[in-house]
Amino acid sequence: MSEANYAERLQPVIDEITRRARVADAFIDKDLYRVYFATLWANLVMNPADSGLTEADLEPIHHYLNRNALAPVLGPGQSITECFRFINSKAGEQAMDRCQLGQTHRDLLTYFCSMILDPEGHRKWADQHREDLDF
Of 92 and 5, more confident: 92
What pLDDT is recorded for position 127? Answer: 61
State the average pLDDT over residues 30-38: 96
What is the C-alpha separation between 60 and 85, in angstroms, rounded? Answer: 21
d(CA 55, CA 104): 24
- Predicted model pTM: 0.84
DSSP per-residue string spanning the chain = --HHHHHHHHHHHHHHHHHHHEEETTEE-HHHHHHHHHHHHHHHHH-GGGGT--HHHHHHHHHHHIIIIIHHHH-TT--HHHHHHHHTSHHHHHHHHHTT--HHHHHHHHHHHHHHH-HHHHHHHHHHHHHHH--
What pLDDT is stored for residue 130 in this prediction? 62
Kindly report, residue by residue over 94-116, the tens digit of the pLDDT: 999 999 999 999 999 998 998 88
Tens digit of pLDDT for each residue in 42-79? 999 999 998 888 899 999 999 999 999 999 999 999 99
Confidence band of 125 (pLDDT split at 50, 70, 90) = low
What is the average pLDDT score of the chain?
A: 88
The per-residue pLDDT for 12 is 93
